[in-house]
Amino acid sequence: MKISWFYAFLSLIVAAALALLAYDMAKDEKNNLDILVAIGTGITVMITLGGALALRLENTRANVNQRVWSGVMFVVMLIANFCFADFGVKMPWYPVIIACLLVIHLGVARSIANVKDI
């Protein structure tokens, strides 16, 4: 497994921009949950977009599977984060749902990376 640092840096820039957008959309002045949404969006977008763009696996088919899976999870994470930012953050629900989606993504991505023959 190799990491393309240029694409990892581009993923970081996109994650920061989307986190800023989520922060602006959330606007929760009394509980400061807009900061939580910004951090959650930044982390999840960086991990999923980094997996889609910056990761290179040795096996070509596994590489394609990894990119498709990470791309799908990137879209799912964007939808989830921006829905929470737009409709309001419910404190026990946001971290639980985002963490569960992130754990599912990392588990499947790890199993794709560990497959020797597809």
pLDDT digit string, tens, across residues 41-73: 999 999 999 999 999 988 889 999 999 999 999
Q: What is the pLDDT of residue 11?
A: 95
At residue 77 the predicted structure's pLDDT band, cuts being 50, 70 and 90, is very high
What is the per-residue pLDDT across 19-38, written as a single tens digit (0 to 9) for each? Answer: 999 999 988 767 788 899 99
Q: What is the pLDDT of residue 29?
A: 67
Percent of the chain whose pLDDT exceeds 70: 98
**Residue 118: is its pLDDT beyond 80?**
no
Chain CA centroid to CA 44, Å: 3
What residue type is assigned to position 79 of the chain?
A: I
Q: 112 Cβ partners below 8 Å, 6+ apart?
A: 57, 62, 65, 66, 69
* pTM of the predicted protein model: 0.89
The residue among 104, 53, 98 whose CA lies nearest residue 77 is 98
What residue type is assigned to position 14 of the chain?
A: V
At residue 10 the predicted structure's pLDDT band, cuts being 50, 70 and 90, is very high
Q: What is the pLDDT of residue 104?
A: 97
Q: What is the pLDDT of residue 73?
A: 97
**Residue 75: is its pLDDT beyond 80?**
yes
